[in-house]
Amino acid sequence: MTVRIAVDAMGGDLAPDALVQGSIKAAAAYSDVQIILVGQREKLPAESTLPLNVVIEEAASVMAMDESVENLRKKRDSSIWVATKMVKEGRADAVISAGSTGAQMAAALLLLGRIPGITRPGICTVFPTLKGGSVLFDIGANLELEPEQYLQFALLGKVAAEMLLSRENPTVGLLNNGTEEHKGTDKLVAAHQLLKQSRLNFIGNYEAREIMSGNCDVIVTDGFTGNAVLKTSEGLARTLLSLLKQELTAGVMRKIGAALVMPGLKNLKEMLDYKKIGGAPLLGVNGISVVCHGSSDAETIKSAVAQTLKLYNSNFVEQLRKQAADFFNE
C-alpha cells in the first residue's frame, strides 16, 4: 500500500529547494511512498520533471516563520493549512513541515483535533543515548506546562518509547533540578505526585546530566527546558568534535594517530548527527504531523520521510488513541 505524505514545500529557511530535493531523494529511496509537494506551483519544478511518485498540490500562500499564528485562520490557502487539510480529508496519510511550528501546531489542532484526554500536543524527539535513544518530550511546543499536562505527556512519551524504540514497560522520569521529591517549581512538585500515583513506570525526578546514560526511556519536560537541553547538546557536540579535530591534528604524530582513529570518530559523529534524526512528531493530535527544524536540508527531509513512514506503518496514532482512552477512563 502506498503511503501518501503531504510535504509543506514552502516552509523552512531553505524552502522550497531543500523540501523538493529531500522529497525526490525520499521518493527514490523508499518504495510505496507518494510525496505530495504542497505549495506555490510557480516556485516549484514542473510536475513533468519530477519522479512519478512526487506530485504537486497548489497552495497559493505561505505562513512566514515569524508570522502571528492568528493569521492562519485567514490563510486557508497557505501551504501548511492545505497540507494538513489533505490529512483531515483522507487525501494524505501524514504531513511534514519545516515551517513555523506554531502554525503547524495550530493547523493540526484546528483540522485534525486532539486525542481525547490530551489538553495540548507537544513535540517529541528521540535523544541519542548509550542505550539506543530515549524519548525527550516536549522539546518546544509548550513553554510552560500544567501538572496534568506533564502526566499526559508522560503517557504519550511512554507510547512513543514502545512504538519507536520497542521498549517494554518504559521507565518515565521527570526532568528536574534535583532528584529529591520536593525539587523544582510548585508545578513540578505537583506533577511529580500525579506521576507517582499513576500506573506509569515512574522512576522519579531525573537530572539532565543522566539523559545520555539511557537509563530512563522517557524524559518528560516543558518545551522551554526541553528545547534548551536539545540545543545545549547540539552546540556542545558540534564544538567538541571540531575541537577534537583541532587537537588531534596538531603535530605530525597526532596526525598519524588521527588517521588511525578516524573510523571511530566517524561512528561517534554519526551518532550525534541531529540531521539524521530528521523530524519530530507532534504528539497528541489526531493524525501524523511531523515537525522539522527550520534549517532542515534535503538530507533531513529525507530522514523525516523515513520516520513518518515508520510512524504510519506502526499504527502509531491508533495506539496513542487506544492507550489514552484506557488511561484516562480508568
User: Which positions lie near its own copies, rule CB under 8 A?
Assistant: 66, 130, 140, 143-144, 175, 177, 180, 182, 184-185, 207-213, 223-225, 227-229, 231-240, 243-244, 247-248, 250, 253-254, 256-261, 263-265, 267-268, 271-272
Shortest Å, Cβ 310 to its own copies: 26
Q: What is the CA radius of gyration of the chain?
A: 21
Q: Closest separation between CB of residue 144 and its own copies, Å?
A: 6
- For residue 56, the minimal CB distance to its own copies (Å) is 31
Distance of closest approach, residue 268 Cβ to its own copies, in angstroms: 6
Task: Name the residue nearer to its own copies (CB basis): 23 or 227.
Answer: 227
For 218, the enclosing helix (H) or strand (E) is: strand 218-220
**Distance in angstroms (rounded) separating the CA atoms of residues 270 and 182:** 39
Judge whether 39 and 9 are in contact, CB under 8 Å: yes
321 in Cβ contact with 288 (< 8 Å): no
User: Which C-beta is closer to its own copies: that of 119 or that of 314?
Assistant: 119
Residue whose CB is less far from its own copies, 17 or 67: 67
Question: At its nearest, how many Å lie between its own copies and the CB of residue 29?
Answer: 28
If the CB atoms of residues 66 and 330 are measured against its own copies, the closer one turns out to be 66
Cis peptide before 138 (omega within 30 of 0): yes
Taking the complex as a whole, the smallest distance from the CB of residue 258 to its own copies amounts, in Å, to 6
Task: Say what angle helices 223-248 and 252-271 make with each other, to 10 degrees.
Answer: 160
> Judged by CB, which is closer to its own copies: 117, or 184?
184
Q: Give the separation between CA 141 and CA 137, rounded to whole angstroms.
A: 10
Q: Strand, coil or helix: what is 323?
A: helix
Could you tell me the smallest distance in angstroms from the CB atom of residue 308 to its own copies?
24
323: nearest Cα among 215, 163, 106? 163
Residues 6+ apart with CB under 8 A from 165: 126, 132, 133, 134, 135, 217
> CA-CA distance, 263 to 328, in Å (whole number)?
49
**218 burial via Cβ count (<10 Å: 0-12, 13-18, 19+):** buried
d(CA 136, CA 133): 9
* CB closer to its own copies out of 36 and 141: 141
- The string of DSSP letters for 109-129 reads IIII-BPTT-SS-EEEEEE--
Closer by beta carbon to its own copies, 295 or else 315: 295
* Rounded least distance, CB 25 to its own copies, Å: 26
Between CA 175 and CA 223 the distance in angstroms is 11
Q: Which is nearer to its own copies, 278 or 287 (CB)?
A: 278
